[in-house]
Structure 1
Amino acid sequence: MIKCYRGFEPLLLLALIGVVLTSCEREPLVPAANYETKNVIIIVMDGPRYSETWGDSTHQFIPRMANQMAGKGMVYTRFYTNGPTYTNAGHTAMTTGFYQEINNSGTELPQYPSIFQHWLQTTDNDSLAAWVISSKDKLEILSDCTLPEWKGKSRPATNCGVDGLGSGYREDSITYYNALKILATHHPQLALIHFRDPDFSAHQNSWEKYTNSIYKTDEYIYKIWTFLQNEYFYQGTTTVFVTNDHGRHLDGISNGFAGHGDGCEGCRHINLFAWGPDFKQGCLTDTPRELVDIPATIAELMHFSLPEGEGAVMKELFK
């Protein structure tokens, strides 16, 4: 169910998260040929709990998303990962549409081709038209798969970790800088940008570092979102999904916020904010959705098929 607002105050909108929502009528989906979206950017904040982001009524750690961004798009209050709750599995789900038990160290490729491979193959674009940009080197695996007919083909460009797979993690400040440079220079039409710090800091069992990293990542996300609105190539034709790969343990479960990896509510309940020219604005929805629905929706917007995907198009997003 969806509730939309016109001329609302952003804080008023976000204060209603957790309240039972009423439905509103939706116009039929725009025919595919008429979508205004030409570019899609996924931005991933790695591993915060819902209780420290949209689930916190004060939104103290995500002020930019709550106050500047929420009123321009749609916020999901019941968004989940229903596969393994660790980094490589979550990112595999959001890019292939398939939940997979996958090695988390970066030594195993996804089984199925990603949105990047499918889109590049469909459009016959150069690899520089699609990018995987990540603070964690191990996420370079998202550029390929093991399916024989796809392995090594139609691969996106990558900018991951210090210097690619096996080189180690880098600071999010470098990822932010590199992402803006790549967006401004190469103008990718399909990209994933990943920030590691909420997960990295939480694993150090430091509440202060963990919450500060959410706050800092919120700022990076806002600045990228602002850039996309002002850059001529992206202005008016770009859709953004802001989400997480997994959450964290609830208090009282295992080591609490410091860990993740099981099926508890804290590990599964994650965030989704969606914004773009084809989507409703100023809306909350409690429609249950999950990570694999993101690539299905991207395939719809960008006019390619994702036959291996298990997700569904999030039709409630569309105007």
Structure 2
Amino acid sequence: MKYHHFLFSILILFSCSTNDDFKEEIIYNDFQTENVIILVIDGPRMSETWFEPNQVNIPYRLDLKKEGVIIDNFKNRGTTLTMSGHSSILNGTYENLRNDGSEIPINPSMLQLWLKQSNQAKEKAWIITSKVKLKTIANCINPIWRDQFIPSTDCGNPNTGTTDRTDIQTVESFKNILTTHHPKLIMVNLKEVDAAGHNNDWNGYISAIKSTDAQIKEIWDFIQSSNDYKNKTALIVTNDHGRHDDNHGGFQNHGDQCGGCESIEFLALGPDFKKNTTIHSSNYEQKDIAKTIGMIMGFEMPFSDGKVITDIFSIPIRVQ
């Protein structure tokens, strides 16, 4: 029986070496999910995706929603920049990182925590990104965890090691890694929406939203075509941040807590999630993703101050 497929509910009091007062509640449920993929579409505004009146830019997401669940009031309540947003997704706590990739997070990522607790090889956990700077979030400055249980990374252009690559290249690399290494916990970043926005290229920005929408479908179809992943893999689609709304400077930039920057998407597909469902709750936010994945995969997230997103599951979730 797999380590995360026990049907019981327990309370573990876990004292962190860096915070003796911290206690964490761990709940185990019976899940069919064995693998989790987090797909981060870098920097679209909800006003051009789910909040666009006719949702014309996301036809594939609309179709996939029949197989999954969305939260239409999901927020990044931390720093609405690339490095901080991706770190918050992985760490389950908001950190304010320099956005040039020169600063590593304080806390260990879910990938480090899972690798230690599952005793899996590093090839079973990956960060796969179009942006080269995101490689730095594989590590942390916590002295107990620094340089320990580092996941595999495939970030930016492998020929240069210092430049970004296209999203098409990243999707192909993702598929090759799944075929070769059969990882179980993965974060993927697609950057071209954000890049077009910063270039103040409205047509390119909309085109990139449409392209990444098709790539979400491509990734999901690839998962469902694989005997190793079909019907036992969760795909969570989200954003690191949005972009300024029109009252705060418009789509070119981001970085404050205006409605455009703070509002991000959340789409979950997989065997344990509700189908064709929209959740209107405002209770959930970016840092909750890590705690939710920890519960699915059966590992502790003692550094996270997020919560489990219980409303997305099709089975009763026992949380004390």
Give the TM bin, normalised by the shorter chain: 0.7 to 0.9
Structure 1 residue 236: deviation in Å?
1.1
- CA distance in structure 2 between the partners assigned to 1:272 and 1:165 by the alignment: 33
Name the residue aligned to 1:4.
Answer: none
Structure 1's unaligned 5+ residue stretches are 1-30
Name the residue aligned to 2:138.
Answer: 143
- CA distance in structure 2 between the partners assigned to 1:73 and 1:258 by the alignment: 31
Q: Paired residue for 1:65, among 49, 58, 61?
A: 61
Q: Paired residue for 1:258, among 252, 261, 277?
A: 252
Q: Sequence identity of aligned pairs in percent?
A: 38
Deviations 1:114-133 (A, max 9, x none): 11000000011100000000
Q: Paired residue for 2:105, among 101, 106, 110?
A: 110
Deviations 1:172-208 (A, max 9, x none): 1110110111111111100011100000001111110
Q: What letter is aligned with 1:250? A: D
Q: Paired residue for 1:191, among 165, 178, 186?
A: 186
So what's the TM-score if we normalise by structure 1? 0.88
Kept in 2, the 8 Å contact 1:140–1:165? The answer is no
The SS at the match of 1:242 is: strand
Is 1:32 the counterpart of 2:28? The answer is: yes
Kept in 2, the 8 Å contact 1:137–1:164? The answer is no
Structure 1 residue 166: deviation in Å?
6.1
Is 1:97 the counterpart of 2:92? The answer is: yes
Q: What letter is aligned with 1:293? A: D
Deviations 1:124-149 (A, max 9, x none): 11000000000000110121111000
Deviates more, 1:54-63 or 1:263-272: 54-63
- CA distance in structure 1 between the partners assigned to 2:213 and 2:183 by the alignment: 22
Correspondence list, 1:160-171, <5 A? 160-163=155-158, 167-171=162-166
Name the residue aligned to 1:231.
Answer: 226
Is 1:271 the counterpart of 2:244? The answer is: no
So what's the TM-score if we normalise by structure 2? 0.88
Correspondence list, 1:112-127, <5 A? 112-127=107-122
CA RMSD of aligned residues (A): 1.3
Cα 1:240–1:232, aligned 2, differ >3 Å: closer, same or farther?
same
Kept in 2, the 8 Å contact 1:138–1:166? The answer is no
Is 1:54 the counterpart of 2:50? The answer is: yes
Structure 1 residue 59: deviation in Å?
1.3
Deviations 1:282-305 (A, max 9, x none): 100011211111101000000011
Name the residue aligned to 1:172.
Answer: 167
Q: What letter is aligned with 2:126? A: W
